[in-house]
Structure 1
Amino acid sequence: MDNQLYSDHKKGAVLSFGELLLRIVPDAAGEWLNDNQLPFYLGGAELNVASALALWDVPSKYFTALPDNGMSAQIISYLNQRKIDTSAVHYHGHRVGLYYLTKGKDLKHDALIYDRANSAFAELKAGMIDWDTVLKNVSWFHFSAICPAISQQVADVCSEALQAAAERGITISVDLNYRSKLWQYGQHPKDVMPDLVKYCDVIMGNIWAAEQMLGIEVLGNIHESGQKSIYLKEALSSSERIMAQYPKCKAVANTFRFDATGDIDYYTALYYNGEFHNSTEYHTTEFVAKVGTGDCFMAGLIYGFYNEWKPRQTLEFATAAAFKKLFIASDATTDTAGEIANSIQV
């Protein structure tokens, strides 16, 4: 790799910026009512990335907002044990955000219920954070589109953080996560995301998220085609248009996960340095949890770029990492880099 993403500044930590959430997991049959217990997992899209990178021995720093209480102290101790630098965490407010997701279900429809209003992160405002301290020794800043979907004031904090990171020459990545149950404050993603994405060096998502958030139209009637070659052709076209619209962008990644029949087909693509790469396709008829697969793919991309791997090697690692995440119950991967590398299919 030609080091484009790391220009002239020394590598430091990867800072993941976003809301820490507790995922509560009721079973579909309602047995949790008889058992008097609800399983939970510690998560949040950006924390999932931070957790994977720390596990893979990349210096991993995490920014979120938490209330200053005993439960937060326990959470921070847990993260520190997993080699995540929590020195940037901002303490204020009164609660941690929650969401409920029925066991085995995807992040859509009635299986998902958010309980995030008035959380410490949701109450962040521009001007609260000392970015000199937060961004000290940081060379990569990662966030997702979930953050600016929370509220206008959180979107303003995202903008402030991105400006500060860009001014310091920090590499910036975004995951175009689209959550239809967010974006409830009167703004459409296309009103907000372009002004944030203009700071990004790496943009990850899929062709439909790029259309929804950036106005990069999906051309033609391909939505029900089911043809891999057509989807990849559209991914190349979308990537080229994204890079034309956002000159700072150096890499665009697309994921494709199809699971309408119960089986899961998964493959990805990466456009970088004028070259388009697509991954091995993976297939499974069984899985444990779909949550966090995209976060694991994003972490894999950062891991490859951070270690200056060739684009194809980076893509195959990230794809294998995401696919293996389907068989892990927790929000973040528990697979080591070595285990992922050994699972890559070629």
Structure 2
Amino acid sequence: MGKVLNFGELLLRICPDVEGNWLKENNLPFFVGGAELNVATALALWKIPSAYLTALPDNSLTEQLVGYVKGLAIDTTAIQYTGERVGLYYLHQGKDLKNAGVIYDRSGSSFATLQTGTINWDVVLKDVSWFHFSAICPAVSLAAAEVCLEALKEASARNITISVDLNYRAKLWKYGKEPIDILPGLVQYCDVVMGNLWAAEKMLGIPVPEGLVEADQKELYLEQSAASSRELIARFPECKVVANTFRFDEQEGVRYYSTLFSEDELLVSKQYSAKNIINKVGSGDCYMAGLIYGFYQDQPAEEIIEFATAAAFSKLFVAGDATTVEASQVKEKVRNYED
């Protein structure tokens, strides 16, 4: 098997505290991240050959960032050095990327201004057997969406397995296109699709019945997961696997489980709950990494879904954007949180 190439924007997450003490203390915490880098980091930690394709400006800050990524045992040879700046976003500590308080500063970044026809795909895709991206990539700019499509066509032509995480970020998609205008043209190339019922509805037009959230019944969620997965595979015949995650933020804490649909069978993971967590950022990326980890090694579907779910839940207790939990420790870390 070849490398897993993860394509997306490297970001700096700036984390002011909610109370505003960072102003008095002259101290503003930050983390290096980006959805696809989080996936690449987890895979490298779990000893899967992991590579990263992004665009960064050619300057001294980039040298430090690339050195940091290399130090995570991630292959950085595919990185494109172009453009003027690194993308940023601001998020109060402990909050979720879906939170209304997120502030993006990504316009005009090196990744957002990346152009088609500038990447040597013969070089970049050499020795690659799996290509991963997320729906955040085409949300950044029309140019990024066009490069994303170019990448998928090139990967597909080389029979490389392709996966996508249907991350929806309402505060992106500011260039005159809606997700439904772009994502179907990308997902048609994908073998593995991960997301949730509502992202599939928003981005692919897979309908979710009214009142499903209000009913809040697990049995109904599972029925809809099977129905949505079947519909997705029917619309996009290249797709062989659909994974849906269910994370509910409640007064008592967080409740988490997932489904995996393949070969017309719906598998349901164990359910985990916790009253207190540290950080919501990157749990979905960790789940995606868990899926790739399992399929890359041809593990049974039951084993794949349980590992991916446990990995995602364990990420809720890690402060940074990417997991630091070794593959051998994942299930043990969450054992006490099983419902």
State the TM-score bracket (shorter-chain normalisation): over 0.9
Distance 1:341 1:282 in 2: 11
Structure 1 CA distance for aligned equivalents of residues 4 and 125 of structure 2: 10
**Could you say which residue in structure 2 is the equivalent of 1:243?**
233
Query: 1:300 is matched with which residue: 262, 287, 290?
Result: 290
Aligned residue number for residue 130 of structure 2: 140
Aligned partners of 2:83 and 2:145: how far apart in 1?
18
| TM-score under structure 2 length normalisation | 0.97
- How many pairs were matched up? 336
Distance 2:334 2:300 in 1: 15
Change (3 A) 1:262 1:132: farther
Q: Which residue of 2 aligns with 1:338?
A: 328
Structure-2 separation of matches of 1:262 and 1:129: 48
Shift of 1:293: 0.2
Q: Which residue of structure 2 aligns with residue 41 of structure 1?
A: 31
Q: Check conservation: 2:314, 2:334, Cα contact below 8 A.
A: no
1:60-99 equivalence runs, <5 A:
60-99=50-89
Aligned to 2:6: 16
User: How far did residue 260 of structure 1 move?
Assistant: 3.6
Aligned to 1:219: 209
1:262 Cα deviation from its structure 2 partner: 5.0
Does the 8 Å contact 1:316/1:344 carry over to 2? no
Q: Within 5 Å, give how 1:297-336 maps onto structure 2.
A: 297-336=287-326
Secondary structure of 1:323 counterpart: helix
1:107 matched residue in structure 2 = 97
Distance in 1 separating the partners of 2:71 and 2:141: 32
Unaligned runs of 5+ in 2: none
Cα distance in 2 for residues equivalent to 1:319 and 1:29 = 33
- The equivalent of 2:162 in structure 1 is 172
Amino acid at match of 2:32: L
Partner amino acid for 2:190? C
Aligned to 1:194: 184
Name the aligned partner's letter for residue 100 of structure 1: Y
Runs of 4+ aligned structure 1 residues displaced above 4 Å come to: none
Aligned-pair Cα RMSD in Å: 1.0
Gaps of 5+ in 1: 1-10
Q: Name which of 100, 125, 131 aligns with 2:121.
A: 131
TM-score of the aligned structures, taking structure 1 as reference length: 0.95
| Kept in 2: contact 1:317–1:344 (CA 8 A) | no
Structure 2 match to 1:7? none
Question: For residue 240 of structure 1, what is the amino acid of its counterpart?
Answer: R
Q: Retained in 2: the 8 A contact 1:126–1:156?
A: yes
Q: In the aligned structure 2, how far is the partner of 1:312 from the partner of 1:343?
A: 19
2:177 aligned with 1:184: no
Q: Distance in 2 between matches of 1:45 and 1:220?
A: 30
Letter in 2 for 1:306: Y
Check whether the contact 1:18–1:143 (CA below 8 A) recurs between aligned residues: yes
> What fraction of aligned residue pairs are identical, expressed as a percent?
57
The aligned residue for residue 221 of structure 2 is 231
1:256/1:75 Cα in 2 relative to 1: closer, same or farther (>3 Å)? same
Where 1:301 maps in the other structure, the secondary structure is: helix
Counterpart of 2:257 in structure 1 is 267
